[in-house]
Chain A
Amino acid sequence: MNVPDGLLYTESHEWIKREAENIRVGITDHAQAELTDVVFVEIPKTGRTADAKEAVAVVESVKAASDIYAPIKGTVVDANKALEANPALINTDPYGEGWIFVLKIDNPDDLKNLKAAAAYKQQIA
């Protein structure tokens, strides 16, 4: 499974990419492989606020609906509308075109609660 080094990760299989005072969030290669066949994504509305570990999006496979959580506290400033027409982007490019939302974070210190690639690799091993 692909676990890129430059990203941060959550226990619930989100990846986090730091972009100045924002973070970009998606689900990991491991998570998409477990779900397979993503058929619907409910993206969050921009402007909504979220606490850490609050469900903000839903990724649905044929079999089940899975909540996607805000990794840390912040405000949604962008969401990937391309997923509405093409939810399978999560399967084909989980770390790229398959991103789900961008969060403007309240406190960069919160990033310390997230996992580095090595720790996430250990979790899914």
Chain B
Amino acid sequence: MPAEALKTTPLKDEHLKLRAKMVPFGGWLMPVQYSGIVDEHRTVRSAVGIFDISHMGQFVVSGNAARDWLNRILTNNVAKLGVGTGQYTFLLNDRGGVIDDLIVYRTGDEEFFLVVNAARVDEDFDWLQKHKPPHLELRNCSPHFGAVAIQGPRAAEFFRAWRGNDKEPPVRNQIADFTFSDNAISVARTGYTGEDGFEVFFPAEIATELWQDALATGGKFGMKPCGLGARDTLRLEMCYPLNGSDLSPDRNPIEAGLGLFVDLEKQDFIGRPSLLETKTKGARERLIAFKMKEKGPPPRPHYPVFADGNRVGEITSGTLSPSLNIGIGLAYVSAAAAKVGTALEVEIRGQKFPATIEKKPLYKKP
């Protein structure tokens, strides 16, 4: 895609000022790194990092029985959400394949806030629009919102210093409103790194002011700006899937090992029959986490994976883990091979390197 066709976030100029390396991602021009992926990764594991996630999409769904409708569209059980709480969930196609993975927050009795992947905003919106009853209101607020993720063990400490000691931050998976510079901002205790942290949603107009202010306050907690590179290595150590790599319209959440976020007890939701079938018959392939046995070239997407000399699958995400200092990844492999402890081989440029299937997550806090 030519550079001029890429969308930019309201923080683009801030990234350029910080000399970030900018790359295309999901139709957006985004910072991949500032000080370096490994340095940013370690900052999030040991202190606190701030990420521009303004490229992500936000929808608001409201109206009478909005909850019941969302429960027929999403896999997790929306009925379990109290007001001010969110859950990770999937939007599936009729075959049970993943259109998107997202977080749905209940922000009122019959009002919901959905945070979706950047590259899927239009597709998700069209799907929801097509399936929604006419009386429900569905708004795509993505262009009006900026967002940052503030992640790391010092995130809570930072937050109190930033918003005032009298302001208690929301607890895990909760969302609450705060004010910044006379504007309402929404703060959720969620993230994609495996660390404590927040995702903050705000009007796009105050993006620059909020970013600069957060970095100024964050300095004494060791805060650094972090890019998509570190976001990817952090999520991969936790085995959090990336839609478009580990999830796709041809894979369902059961195959991806994410059945925890699917409530098959619900009477009806789009994709349920396919998931039931997978559950009953067993998946043909499963998404497993693996770790290389020795130092060597990092595993990468699309490298073939072997067990007992037979090709059993392909890598969907792979990198050198900055925390473990060894190659790690996710791969779909045939169900027979998909057991923790199984010895695998990853073929890299014609040569095979040993790996082992590991329990998820690959990284556990020391």
Hey, which bits of chain A sit against chain B, CB under 8 A? 34, 36-37, 39-40, 42, 58, 60-63, 65
Contact = CB atoms under 8 A, between A and B. Distances in A.
A78 to B, nearest CB: 21
A26 B32 CA distance: 25
Contacts of A58: 297, 349
B349 A40 contact: no
Interface in B275-319: 296-298, 300, 319
B295 to A, nearest CB: 8
A39 to B, nearest CB: 5
Given A62-B229, A62-B319, A63-B229, A36 B297 contact: no
Nearest to A85: B295
B355 to A, nearest CB: 15
A62 B37 contact: yes
Q: Majority SS of interface residues in chain A?
A: strand
Contacts of A65: 297-298, 300
Contacts of B298: 39-40, 60, 62, 65
Which has the most chain B C-beta neighbours within 10 Å: A36, A60, A61, A62? Answer: A62
10 tightest Cβ-Cβ pairs between the two chains A and B = A62-B37, A39-B320, A36-B36, A37-B38, A40-B297, A37-B36, A63-B229, A62-B320, A37-B37, A60-B298
Given A39-B298, A60-B298, 17 more contacts: A36-B33, A37-B37, A37-B38, A39-B320, A40-B298, A40-B320, A58-B349, A60-B320, A61-B37, A62-B37, A62-B320, A62-B322, A63-B232, A63-B319, A65-B297, A65-B298, A65-B300
B21 A34 contact: yes
B223 to A, nearest CB: 20
Interface string B74-95: 0000000000000000000000
B165 to A, nearest CB: 38
Contacts of A36: 33, 36-37
Interface string B220-254: 00000000010011000000000000000000000
Given A34-B21, A62-B38, A63-B229, A40 B319 contact: no
A63 B298 CA distance: 9
A63 B25 CA distance: 13
Contacts of A40: 296-298, 320
